[in-house]
Amino acid sequence: MKTKSLVWLAMLLFGMAVGAQAVVSPQYKLVERDIAVDGKISDWKGIIPNVVHGSNHLWTAQQGLEAEHWQGDQDLSYRWRGAWSQGKLYFLFEVTDDKVVEGGAPLSYMCDCIEIYLDMKRQGGARVKIMDGRVNWLEKYDPKEMMGHEIHFVPGNPVRINLNHAYLYGLDKPQTDEFKKEWAGEVAYRKTEHGYLMEIGLAVPGVKLESGKVIGVEMGVCDDDGNQRESIMMWTGTKLNFWETMNEYGAVTLEGSNKGDAK
Ligand SMILES: [Ca+2]
Ligand SMILES: [Ca+2]
């Protein structure tokens, strides 16, 4: 009996190890802290950054984004930190980019641009759930189809923000006002010695935040050095199409005293 139990235990542990290998994703904890979105970073003191540098963070599966365009960490790399408070998520990006171009292309994702992907229920799978059978999900925008969100922040004054594919990421149709009104959105931007910094606050409509909640998060930063986008560096996912599939997103846990309602 005892031997049998041990065999089962060994098999279970082996299975878990194999399973864990298959679904391993980066982990990060969001501390509960009040953040002023003002471009000053003293309020982030002590919060551990995710460091995204080195060629293994490049996503290279599209023409024009080949690894040879990337000249090293001074060309493009970044650190991001996150926090939460009072129903809002906060992010700080410190981007190293040796040539900051503010809105240099007609589409946000072809510019110097920060991209945030959120899977608020950490479901994985398709980010856009097609409900009418169309082949190309980009042809239509329906909020009901959004299983996750893709938000773009283009450096400049003002920062231009695109929410999902409602206007196909056209820089001429930023949704900055909608972001402010419907997402309680805030953003602060400034250039730094080696690139730029962006501080962001947002509340995903209809989503309650509480301690212990785990969300799926992917981050990407694009680099335009004057000839439209030539690199994108991802926090977690370099194998899949991160804008379509949420399976490689990192697991981000909200930690703090606000337990919310018991479930
Ligand atoms: Ca601040
Ligand atoms: Ca650049």
Q: Which residue has the tokens 């991160």?
A: 242
Residue 25 CA to residue 253 CA, distance in Å, equals 13
Residue 245 CA to residue 241 CA, distance in Å, equals 6
Q: What is the average per-residue pLDDT within 42-62?
A: 96
Residue 258 CA to residue 80 CA, distance in Å, equals 23
| Tokens matching residue 63 | 């023409």
pLDDT confidence band for 7 (50 / 70 / 90): low
What global pTM score does this model have?
A: 0.89
For residue 262, report the distance from its CA to the centre of ligand 1, in Å: 32
Residue 102 in this model has a pLDDT that exceeds 80? yes
Let me know: does 217 contact 118? Beta carbons within 8 Å. yes
Residue 70 CA to residue 73 CA, distance in Å, equals 8
For residue 186, report the distance from its CA to the centre of ligand 2, in Å: 23
- Residue 165's closest CA among 176, 178, 152, 153? 152
DSSP 8-state symbol, 101: -
Residue 233 in this model has a pLDDT that exceeds 50? yes
Residue 169 CA to residue 34 CA, distance in Å, equals 30
pLDDT value of residue 3: 53
Smallest-distance ligand from the CA of 226: 2
For residue 98, report the distance from its CA to the centre of ligand 2, in Å: 6
For residue 42, report the distance from its CA to the centre of ligand 2, in Å: 25
pLDDT confidence band for 24 (50 / 70 / 90): low
| Tokens matching residue 149 | 């969100």
Let me know: does 257 contact 32? Beta carbons within 8 Å. yes
For residue 134, report the distance from its CA to the centre of ligand 1, in Å: 43
For residue 204, report the distance from its CA to the centre of ligand 2, in Å: 28
Q: What is the pLDDT of residues 110-138, one digit of tens each?
A: 999 999 999 999 999 999 999 999 999 99
DSSP 8-state symbol, 95: E
Give the number of C-alpha atoms closer than 13 A to the C-alpha of residue 114, restricted to the C-beta side: 29
> Could you give all domains of the chain from N- to C-terminal order, each with its CATH number?
27-254 (2.60.40.1190)
For residue 229, report the distance from its CA to the centre of ligand 2, in Å: 8
Smallest-distance ligand from the CA of 36: 1
For residue 38, report the distance from its CA to the centre of ligand 1, in Å: 5
Residue 258 in this model has a pLDDT that exceeds 90? no
Q: What is the pLDDT of residues 141-166, one digit of tens each?
A: 999 999 999 999 999 999 999 999 99
